[in-house]
Chains A and B, each alone.
Chain A
Amino acid sequence: MSKTSGSSASGTTPKMKGDKVKVFYGEKQALQDVDLEIKPNEVTALIGPSGCGKSTFLRCLNRMNDVIDICRVEGKITLDNEDIYSSDLDPVQLRARVGMVFQKPNPFPKSIYDNIAYGPRIHGTASSKAEIDEIVETSLTKAGLWEEVKDRLMEPGTGLSGGQQQRLCIARAIAVNPEVILMDEPCSALDPIATAKIEELIDELRENFTIVIVTHSMQQAARVSQRTAFFHLGELVEVGDTEQIFTNPTDSRTQGYITGRFG
């Protein structure tokens, strides 16, 4: 496997960058002035107590919030220095570059094959059957699911186990070959063994993709991520190397959270 992330040449330029991001649901403000940089080919973990706005921030990164009528985003978010909320950037195109995996596995009620082929088909990245076959195999392999499902590609994706479904969803996201993959608590609906598999997978994927993961579990953040951002009540409290955040946080709120005093 080779690196494909086009702009990863300079290690320090951020892949994505949030600048004074504010989000409102109707009158209610869910995020206040979040400044956050996402480094390429790293796993960035977003942690914090429930309702602090982690998912909200994550959904800003590929404009999934556009789907919610009452949601309003202010501030600036860039992908490779391009403003993703500018009017000449197309959300559909953006989401092909910034893919997403959700909390609950949500395979389409189609065959495993068609689940994976869906993205390439709509984006027209593959036209012939052979090309699609290839993408399906590559993606499933990368997601570590190929061996388990290669004999039943035409069976419905909803028939898989929870962990397999989630890996199918990851494979589905990979099939579009995005630059960034957003994961919103991808393991919260899974058992420990399935969780371990996904964590392993995330670590492998880092080689080719930039990953942002929201997680509830601090152990998970510590295991898979290189950088960690701590959110609290709609604010980004602290961000830094995972090591540093977990061993030597600067903010007392972070300290409180990771030592389990609240959250």
Chain B
Amino acid sequence: MTDAIMNSKPDTAEIRRPSPGGERLKKRYAAERRFRLYGLCSILAAGLMLVFLVGSIVGTGWSAFLQTYVKLSITFDAEYLDPAGTGDPAQLQNADYGGLMKKNLRDNFPEVTGRSDKRKLYNFVSPNAGYVLRDMVIADPALVGKTLDLWVKASDDIDMLTKGYVDRTEAEDNRRVSNAELAWYDKLDNADRVETRFNTDFFVNADSREPEEAGILGAVTGSLLTLLITLLLSFPVGVMAAIYLEEFAPKNRWTDLIEVNINNLAAVPSIVFGLLGLAMFLNFFGFPRSAPLVGGMVLALMTLPTIIIAARSALKAVPPSIREAALGLGASPLQVVTHHVLPLAMPGILTGTIIGMAQALGETAPLLMIGMIAFIVDIPGGFTDPATVLPVQIYLWADSPERAFVERTSAAIMVLLAFLIFMNFVAVLLRRKFERRW
């Protein structure tokens, strides 16, 4: 009806009314649905990528928490350990356990004769298996001369075979496990002499060239030492800077400059901080390379902006009325801050600090610059010992060609993510618990 009247109007300056319903409205709603769908798909795509990422890490990494052991009959041959029969602990300490292990391998597989086959056989178990024998003998010298059935850690290739990463159908040249080794393995397997156990060594060893011996404790210790330095430096400095900027600083050009500066520092690429550490701390001040001390200092400079920004917003959230009340009672400005404002802002500051620490824990690039990338087999004992950190360990292992290191890389990532999830969880709890509505 409306349209009829409208259309009959000769007056061109009249404005037409939208027709009710009709094609156009349908189209508009179709566009609406499409747009909404794009948005939903985007979020789902992001979610799928996350699932894919985590899935691929867990999928390749879970098996690293298991380790293959083979049961061999081991004779603690006195000829190798203590030919003179002295029972001298020094003699037992320095005996040829490697030779003993080899001899036992030969005895367990008497069919192996050729030189190259023998060499393969020696690689059947972890090269460190001899040390395990040594520790047993030193703990109990009465073992000398006895024969026992022992579970011995298999080498990484055999471990991969057990976990099904070796394709038996492939040509022998293309696989890391030869036919002969397969035969030995099957023989043991048929005798129920192969089993996988929880891989404790992964958690208590430091890095090693041998995948089956490599563990994360060295890197985790390095990370903890580094983070400790980071925390000790960035927390007090960050909080004090925030207090000054938020509570005391006059509003002028100078404080504006500091503010802009902090915001920019927060967005400077992390590798630039590494260059700073290299040029300043190592080359100029001559601090030791690869040390958690320097790593911690670099990361502290990096997390400082995060902590300052978080602390400032926590301080800002404390209502001015509380300051006025305390000032009205005759407290000095510093007392107002330390007695009233800071305690109220502390949960927020701590949340920000934990998040900053989590970032620092995952940081890799700047630490490469200051040499925390060395291959380090010892667990660092102090702040100036050469050390590496968990993310760098991941980077190093990711570079190793062995299949066994791939699963260890993924496993190390899982450990790193576990730490991060834990820290963020604490931060969320803290926020929930102390969240205040003024």
Which A residues are within 8 Å of any B CB, using their own CB? Answer: 2, 4, 6-7, 90, 92-93, 96-97, 120, 122-126, 134-135, 137-139, 174-179
A125, B5: Cα distance in complex, Å: 15
A123 CA / B22 CA spacing, docked (Å): 11
* Residues of B1-41 contacting chain A, CB below 8 A: 1-2, 5-6, 9, 11-18, 20-21, 24-25, 28
B25 touches A93 (CB 8 A): yes
Judge whether A6 and B18 touch: CB under 8 Å.
no
Q: Check A125 against B18 for contact (C-beta < 8 Å).
A: yes
Inter-subunit contact A6/B2 (CB<8 Å): yes
Q: Are the C-beta atoms of B6 and A4 separated by less than 8 Å?
A: yes
A125: contacting residue among B9, B13, B16, CB under 8 A: B16
Tell me, rounded to whole Å, the shortest Cβ–Cβ distance linking A59 to chain B: 21
Chain A residues with Cβ under 8 A from B18's Cβ? 93, 96, 123-125, 176
With both beta carbons as reference points, the residue of chain B lying nearest to A94 in the complex is identified as B20
Please state if A92 and B28 are interface contacts (CB–CB under 8 Å).
Answer: yes
**B20–A6 touching, CB < 8 Å:** no
Chain B residues near A137 (CB, 8 Å)? Answer: 13
| A138-B15 contact in complex given A2-B9, A4-B6, A6-B1, C-beta closer than 8 Å | yes
**Do B25 and A138 have beta carbons less than 8 Å apart?**
no
Q: Which residue of B lies closest to A174 (CB)?
A: B15
Minimum C-beta distance from B9 to chain A (A): 7
Size category, B interface: 10 to 19
> Are A4's CB and B20's CB within 8 A?
no
Looking at chain B's contact residues, the main secondary structure is loop
Contact B25–A92 (Cβ < 8 Å): yes
Q: In the docked arrangement, what's the CA distance between A93 and B21, Å? A: 7
B1 touches A139 (CB 8 A): no
Which of chain A's residues have a CB closer than 8 A to the CB of B9? Answer: 2
CA A124 to CA B12, docked complex, whole Å = 17
**Which of A97, A139, A179 is close to B15, meaning CB atoms less than 8 Å apart?**
A139
Min distance, Cβ B83 to any Cβ of chain A, angstroms: 87
Question: Which residues of B, 63-83, contact A by the 8 Å Cβ criterion?
Answer: none
Which of B6, B13, B20, B21 touches A138 (beta carbons < 8 Å)? B13
- Given known A2-B9, A4-B5, contact A135–B21 (CB-CB < 8 A): no
Alpha-carbon distance A175/B18, docked complex (angstroms): 11
Asked if B17 and A96 make an inter-chain contact with CB atoms under 8 angstroms apart, the answer reads yes
Would you give 21 A-B contacts (Cβ < 8 Å), ordered by A?
A2-B9, A2-B11, A6-B2, A6-B5, A90-B21, A90-B25, A92-B28, A93-B21, A96-B18, A97-B17, A97-B20, A124-B24, A125-B15, A126-B16, A134-B12, A137-B13, A138-B13, A138-B15, A174-B15, A177-B15, A179-B17
CB contacts (< 8 Å) of B25 on chain A: these are 90, 92-93
- What is the minimal beta-carbon distance from B36 to any residue of chain A, in angstroms? 14
Look across to chain A and name the residue whose beta carbon is closest to the beta carbon of B6: A4
Give bound CA distance, A184 to B234, whole Å: 53
Give Cα A8 to B267, complex, Å. 64
B13 adjacent to A134 (CB under 8 Å): yes
A135 touches B24 (CB 8 A): no
Q: A7-B1, A134-B12 are in contact. List 20 more A-B contacts (CB 8 A).
A: A2-B9, A4-B6, A6-B1, A90-B21, A92-B28, A93-B18, A93-B21, A96-B17, A122-B28, A123-B24, A124-B24, A125-B18, A135-B15, A137-B13, A138-B15, A139-B15, A174-B15, A175-B15, A176-B17, A179-B17
B24 to chain A, nearest CB (A): 5
Closest residue on chain A to residue B14 by CB atoms: A4
Residue of chain A at shortest CB distance from B27: A124
**A125 cross-chain contacts in B, Cβ below 8 A:** 15-18
Residues of B within 8 A of A176 (CB): 15, 17-18
Within 8 A of A (CB), among B44-93: none
The distance from the CB of B13 to the nearest CB of chain A, in whole angstroms, is 5
Which residues from B are CB-within-8-Å of A2?
Answer: 9, 11, 14
Least Cβ distance of A127 to chain B in Å?
11
| Nearest CB of chain A from residue B126's CB, rounded to whole Å | 63
User: With A and B bound together, what is the CA distance between A258 and B363 in angstroms?
Assistant: 69
Q: Which residues of B contact A135 (CB under 8 A)?
A: 15
Closest chain A residue to B21, Cβ basis: A93
CA distance A97 to B13 in the complex (A): 19
* List of B residues within 8 angstroms of A175 by Cβ: 15
Q: With the chains together, A125 CA to B17 CA distance in Å?
A: 7
Q: What is the minimal beta-carbon distance from B7 to any residue of chain A, in angstroms?
A: 12
Q: Considering the chains assembled together, what is the distance between the CA atoms of A7 and B5 in angstroms? A: 11
Residues of A within 8 A of B1 (CB): 6-7
Interfacial chain A residues near B14, Cβ < 8 Å: 2, 4, 138
7 tightest A-B CB contacts, nearest first: A123-B18, A177-B15, A6-B2, A125-B16, A96-B18, A124-B24, A138-B13
Complex CA gap A97/B16 in Å reads: 11
B266-302 at interface with A (beta carbon < 8 Å): none
Most chain A CB neighbours (cut-off 10 Å) among B5, B11, B15: B15
B5 cross-chain contacts in A, Cβ below 8 A: 4, 6
Q: Give the Cβ gap from A163 to chain B, nearest Cβ, in Å.
A: 23
Chain A residues whose CB sits within 8 angstroms of the CB of B20 once the complex forms: 93, 97
| A139 CB contacts on chain B under 8 angstroms | 15
Known: A4-B6, A124-B24. Is A177-B13 also a contact (CB below 8 A)? no
CB distance from B137 to the nearest CB of A (A): 75
Instruction: Enumerate chain B residues within 8 angstroms of A174, measured Cβ to Cβ.
Output: 15
CA distance A124 to B28 in the complex (A): 10
